[in-house]
Amino acid sequence: MKRKITLGEFIIQQQTEYPHARGEMSQLLSALMVSGKIINKAVQHGGLNEGVLGASGDENVQGETQQKLDILANNIIIEAFEQRQEVCGIASEENEQVVVLEKKYKEVGKYVLLIDPLDGSSNIDVTVSVGTIFAIYRRVTPEGSEAILKDFLQPGLKQVAAGYIIYGSSTMMVYSTGNGVNGFTLDPSSGVFFLTHPNIRIPETGPYYSVNEGKMHLFPKQYQDYIESCKVPKSEKDSLVDCRYTGSLVADFHRSLLKGGIYLYPPSTFHPNGKLRLLYECNPLAFLCEQAGGKAINGEGRVLEMQPTDLHQRAPLVIGSTKMVEQFERMRGVV
């Protein structure tokens, strides 16, 4: 039986399709793959690694409790790119300011990297799936200069690549460079990612809706109405839509991507702009979702068209199977 193609081979194959490519994107994706393997090891060891689980005692810029593994994952990725030349700066959910990779800014560094190093970190201590989310943009300032905020505040449409590494019952890297979405599963015995999910297409509709219903009373009425409607079969023939919500966006999105479904993080009285970060969470997943044939809106318009004004800006998110998101839009009266 022919063996599956590895992620490393796939990255090189993609590069050869662009004869003028200098290989930076390949290097960059490889560095993310290696970082993902190191983070995976820390996540999988869980309670065996003394002192790695639990809260760090600090808060991030948004006032949220940082877990020790949040910080570890953040450091692993930043250190990986400090050794390399492809990226001139990193913006992270865990850092108040942009991290400028000083050693490199006089060199090539034509990309900027935006990361949520460990999404779903409230789940780390209880062995529920978590993940690393990443977005890559071409810088807008000239190569050779220091990266500035402007390089990071680009609409999601400008992403040249985005993806995530999910640390779950198996570990997968799912990404897109704007030419479809592919998924790779880590073989724990060889430490190699193999292409297991080529050309992922999100089903037009699906059997699940994902939302934190415990906060339902805090959501705008249109969201409440939509969520209620998910519980009512439209006709006798209609199958029921089940609720699935882990509290890890990356896990809830991954399920919707493969099985079909809709994920909502609405605005609420606590978080008038929703809780999720536009640059580190909404944009990369919106890019993947659209690349897989799905739809992602901020409740009103396309997520990828939003012009960010702030690094840690939040946005509401409704994402998933096209027909389900469109049904939400009809009920919300935005189309």
Contacting residues toward ligand AHM, per CB under 6 A: 64, 93, 116, 119-121, 212, 247-249, 275
- Which does residue 183 bind out of Mg ion, ligand AHM, none, counting CB within 5 to 8 angstroms by kind? none
Q: By C-beta, is 166 or 258 nearer to ligand AHM?
A: 166
- φ/ψ of 209, rounded to 5, equals -120, 145
Other beta carbons within 10 angstroms of residue 263's beta carbon come to 27
Which residue type does 120 have?
G
User: Is residue 94 a contact residue for Mg ion (CB under 5 A)?
Assistant: no
- Residue matched to tokens 């609720």: 243
Q: By C-beta, is 147 or 166 nearer to ligand AHM?
A: 166
User: Is residue 116 a contact residue for Mg ion (CB under 5 A)?
Assistant: yes
Q: How far is the CB of 89 from ligand AHM (least distance, A)?
A: 20
Q: By C-beta, is 66 or 185 nearer to Mg ion?
A: 66
Give 223-292 as a DSSP string: HHHHHHHHTS-SSTTPPPPEE---S-HHHHHHHHHHH--EEEE---SS-TT-SSBIIIIIHHHHHHHHHT
Task: Name the one range near Mg ion by CB under 5 A: 84-92, 110-118, 195-203, 254-262.
Answer: 110-118
- Judge contact between 43 and 170, C-beta under 8 A: no
Residue 255 and residue 160: Cα distance in Å, rounded? 24
Q: By C-beta, is 1 or 126 nearer to ligand AHM?
A: 126
User: Is residue 70 a contact residue for Mg ion (CB under 5 A)?
Assistant: no
Q: How far is the CB of 85 from ligand AHM (least distance, A)?
A: 29
Q: Look up residue 234 and give its two tokens.
A: 């439209």
- Which does residue 275 bind out of Mg ion, ligand AHM, none, counting CB within 5 to 8 angstroms by kind? ligand AHM
User: Is residue 119 a contact residue for Mg ion (CB under 5 A)?
Assistant: yes
Q: By C-beta, is 94 or 119 nearer to Mg ion?
A: 119
Q: How far is the CB of 135 from Mg ion (least distance, A)?
A: 12
Q: How far is the CB of 70 from ligand AHM (least distance, A)?
A: 7
Question: What's the chain's Rg over C-alpha atoms?
Answer: 19
The size of the interface with Mg ion (CB under 5 A), counted in residues, is: 2
Q: Look up residue 188 and give its two tokens.
A: 């724990």
Residue 332 and residue 326: Cα distance in Å, rounded? 10
* 59 DSSP β-pair partners: 65
- Residue matched to tokens 């006032």: 63
Q: By C-beta, is 119 or 329 nearer to Mg ion?
A: 119
Provide the angle, in degrees to the nearest 10, between the axes of the packed helices 322-332 and 221-230.
130
Q: How far is the CB of 114 from Mg ion (least distance, A)?
A: 12
* Residues near Mg ion, by CB under 5 A: 116, 119
